[in-house]
Every structure is written in C-alpha cells, then in structure tokens.
Amino acid sequence: MESVDPGVQPQTFEEWCERCQKEIPHFKFWYTTLQLELLVLIYVKSLRTANFSLYIDCLTKLAPWFFCLVTFAQHFKSLIEEMGNPFLEDSKDNTRDIADTAVASSVCCAEETGKNQY
C-alpha cells in the first residue's frame, strides 16, 4: 500500500486508474472490459427507460467497439443520423424498424464473422 507524505495531495481515483493502465497490462485489460460492460448496461437502461439522448450517447460511445465490422459502425452512424427520435409521440414515422435489415443481419452474423476474421 502506498503511503502519502503529509502535505502532499493524494492521487484521484481517475489518476490512479490511468497510471495503473500504463504500468500493468492485466489491469488495463480488466479496466477496458469493465468500461465495455458498463456501456452495455447503460445501453440497456436507455432502452428500458426510453431515454433517447442516453441512447444516442451510448451508441456513439459503443460505435468504436465495432471497429472489426466497418460496415456495422457505418450503419450505426447512418442510423443515428436518419432515425430521429422514435420515443416521441409526435414522431413522423412510428412504423419503421429501429434497425435496417443490413444492420440486423450484421448483428446476427457478428460472432461468426469475428471468429472467421480472427
């Protein structure tokens, strides 16, 4: 355990995490995994609470995680731009699907595609 000299300000939790990520690869792996899991939980919360701004914010943060499927990330970008706010009652089009068929097929094949690319 690290001690702090009197009169010296201790590190914040964020500073400690940044330092540990640089120094300890195992810590970086689990910290990154935790960040992805938290994003997925926030995504689920946005769907369950119909919070559109949280939904868009979360999709924007999740998009880089789909780097291995370039078209998947591009579909997310176009989905965010074109979809509008489906949670509003006065939405122009309440009948359209949330995901394009190309996005849906990409999601269904993502695990197999990832295994083939690996």
Which residue is listed with tokens 């009948």? 95
Q: pLDDT by residue (tens digit) across 78-88? A: 766 666 665 66
Give the Cβ contact number of residue 7 at 10 Å.
5
Nearest to 82 by CA among 108, 111, 103: 103
Tens of pLDDT, residue by residue over 6-65, are 777 888 999 999 999 899 888 888 888 888 889 999 999 999 999 999 999 998 888 777
pTM here is 0.51
- Residue 52 identity (one-letter amino acid): F
The pLDDT value recorded for residue 33 is 82
CB 79 within 8 A of CB 99: yes
CA 50 – CA 112 distance, rounded (Å): 31
Q: Count CB-CB contacts under 10 A for residue 109.
A: 13
Mean pLDDT of 97-111: 58
